[in-house]
Structure 1
């Protein structure tokens, strides 16, 4: 006997909307961080540039790197709050797992770690 359970939820509540907004803000900040990283990161050293004697920047731009840290940590914080809210709001097995938010958190923390390692290697060498 398969009993069909009636869905008792009428509509999404305010917490669901907050979760959606936090997820959108987190991904938006991540995309903005990609743009900032493009301008803050060292330029790639191609052989053609060396052949023509074109100068390239081999260091991170400090002011933009500071903004990049802030944006990345805000993105990670947004995804973390989203995961915490989701943990306390999801009560059913049919509720979504939100793996994209977990992926965003892991990627931003790994990216900050990578930047810290790159800058520390540049300062030593």
Structure 2
């Protein structure tokens, strides 16, 4: 026995959930680009052989922007998860697993960067 769908159209909350998912993924994509420029360079053997200097530290201003992007992405994802938790009432409602994945990856990335900066700074 299948229930009849009584919803006529998407409400504003569904649009907000979809919009927040798009915004948080865009912020995460910008964070990926920012991390390329903020992270230390890889020290390949050919660079050491030719005596080319490589940057072995994180760029502080860019790392600050990277933190902001990652925290905003995680915050929007978390709000989306909470909003979806209280908003969805039916079994057939979307689960928005992408927001949960993005939240976990963003927080894990923040922790990774913090550990890298602390270990590189003390070593």
Name the TM-score class by shorter chain: over 0.9
Aligned equivalent of 1:13? 11
Q: After the TM superposition, which segments of 4 or more aligned residues of structure 1 sit over 6 Å from their partners?
A: none
User: Shift in Å at residue 96 of structure 1?
Assistant: 1.6
Aligned equivalent of 2:106? 108
SS at match of 1:112: helix
SS at match of 1:95: coil
After TM superposition, list the pairs within 5 Å mapping 1:1-125 onto structure 2: 3-125=1-123
User: Shift in Å at residue 22 of structure 1?
Assistant: 0.4
* C-alpha separation in 2, matches of 1:6 and 1:96: 17
* C-alpha separation in 2, matches of 1:44 and 1:113: 20
TM-score after normalising by structure 1: 0.96
User: Shift in Å at residue 100 of structure 1?
Assistant: 1.1
Structure 1 residue runs of 5 or longer lacking an equivalent are none
Question: What is the aligned length?
Answer: 123
User: Shift in Å at residue 52 of structure 1?
Assistant: 1.1
User: Shift in Å at residue 61 of structure 1?
Assistant: 0.1
RMSD value, Cα: 0.7
SS at match of 2:51: coil
SS at match of 2:5: coil
User: Shift in Å at residue 4 of structure 1?
Assistant: 3.0
